[in-house]
């Protein structure tokens, strides 16, 4: 598909431009998600059908040791909208998102956590922000915190606030929420930032936003509904230390000139 034109406009709840309907790719990274991937796929496929969207759903299996892949295979037989990508082992969420995005064919590229902490219907808000001129739209849990139907435990909120403050100091990112797993990109923006991405695990979100800023893309932070889900695999101590290390690595990569933009 060709490059996304600069100013798509809303029309009957769907984005069109130059009398051509836009196409969408929804990327879902999955690691040992057998307990909830079926329910999430049902919701995403229903959302696509209700919107009448021209869309594909790409699930990236990150070396799951349960039957996540088998469940997805069952859905592959039911719908041509679904694709399954297999990572070479367990590589991390950042690798999974990049893998899915680099194989996506849509004009608008969205990635969402497999647990749908932000309901898939909230994607309409991100798509509207892109229709209004943003290159990238990121879901935010903290712009309107009253939209949270179930908040994180206090210790995770505290960790998030500290990490956010460090991102402002180290990388100059002025967003309220960099870590919400709900982000949409125009094809042009996606084709620029994802090939340049280096971080493969939890610290990839701020790297993407740093690259967007470095490459001159317009990023809109959009308040979305969100609910904390039990069973999260992130450890504030272990993964928190890793994320701080990855934040410093982003800065080091920038100083060493490793973030040259990909020709568009």
DSSP H or E stretch at residue 185: strand 182-186
Contact 20, 27 (CB under 8 A): no
Range of the domain at 201: 16-151+176-228
β-bridge partners, 20: 17
Whether 96 maps to a domain, the answer reads: yes
pLDDT of residue 161: 74
Whether 164 maps to a domain, the answer reads: no
Chunked into runs of 10 residues, the chain (264 residues) has average pLDDT values of 36 51 97 97 98 97 97 95 97 97 98 96 98 97 67 64 76 89 97 96 92 97 84 61 84 89 60
**Structure tokens, 213:** 């800023």
Alpha carbon distance, N-terminus to C-terminus of the chain: 14
Query: How far, in Å, CA of 98 to CA of 60, rounded?
Result: 10
For residue 39, CA distances in Å to 1, 116, 122, 134, 177 come to 30, 10, 17, 31, 26
Whether 263 maps to a domain, the answer reads: no
pLDDT of residue 162: 72
Whether 204 maps to a domain, the answer reads: yes
* CATH value at residue 68: 3.90.550.10
CB 39: neighbour CB atoms within 10 A?
Answer: 13
> Maximum CA pair distance of the chain?
51
Whether 256 maps to a domain, the answer reads: no
Confidence (pTM): 0.85
CA 143 to mean position of chain CA atoms: 18
Environment class of 150 (CB within 10 Å of its CB; exposed 0-12, middle 13-18, buried 19+)? exposed
pLDDT of residue 163: 72
Whether 189 maps to a domain, the answer reads: yes
Q: How many domains does the chain have?
A: 1
Contact 11, 94 (CB under 8 A): no
**Structure tokens, 54:** 């021209």
**Structure tokens, 73:** 């295979």
Contact 16, 8 (CB under 8 A): yes
Whether 11 maps to a domain, the answer reads: no
Whether 60 maps to a domain, the answer reads: yes
């Amino acid at each position: 598909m060709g490059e996304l034109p600069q100013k798509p406009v809303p029309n009957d709840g769907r984005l069109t431009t130059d009398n051509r309907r836009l196409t969408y790719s929804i990327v879902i990274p999955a690691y040992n998600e057998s307990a909830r991937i079926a329910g999430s796929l049902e919701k995403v496929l229903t959302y696509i059908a209700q919107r009448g969207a021209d869309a594909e759903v790409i699930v990236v299996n990150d070396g799951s040791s349960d039957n996540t892949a088998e469940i997805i295979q069952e859905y592959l037989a039911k719908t041509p909208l679904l694709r399954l990508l297999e990572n070479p082992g367990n590589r991390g969420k950042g690798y999974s998102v990049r893998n899915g995005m680099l194989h996506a064919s849509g004009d608008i590229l969205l990635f969402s956590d497999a647990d749908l902490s932000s309901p898939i219907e909230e994607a309409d808000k991100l798509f509207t922000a892109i229709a209004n001129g943003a290159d990238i739209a990121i879901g935010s849990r903290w712009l309107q915190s009253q939209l949270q139907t179930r908040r994180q435990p206090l210790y995770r909120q505290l960790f998030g606030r500290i990490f956010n403050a460090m991102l402002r100091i180290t990388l100059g990112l002025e967003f309220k929420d960099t870590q919400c797993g709900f982000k949409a990109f125009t094809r042009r923006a996606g084709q620029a930032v994802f090939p340049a991405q280096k971080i493969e695990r939890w610290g990839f979100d701020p790297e993407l936003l740093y690259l967007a800023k470095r490459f001159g893309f317009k990023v809109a932070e959009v308040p979305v509904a969100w609910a904390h889900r039990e069973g999260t695999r992130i450890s504030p101590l272990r993964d928190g230390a890793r994320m701080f290390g990855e934040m410093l690595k982003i800065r080091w990569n920038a100083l060493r000139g490793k973030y040259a933009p990909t020709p568009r």
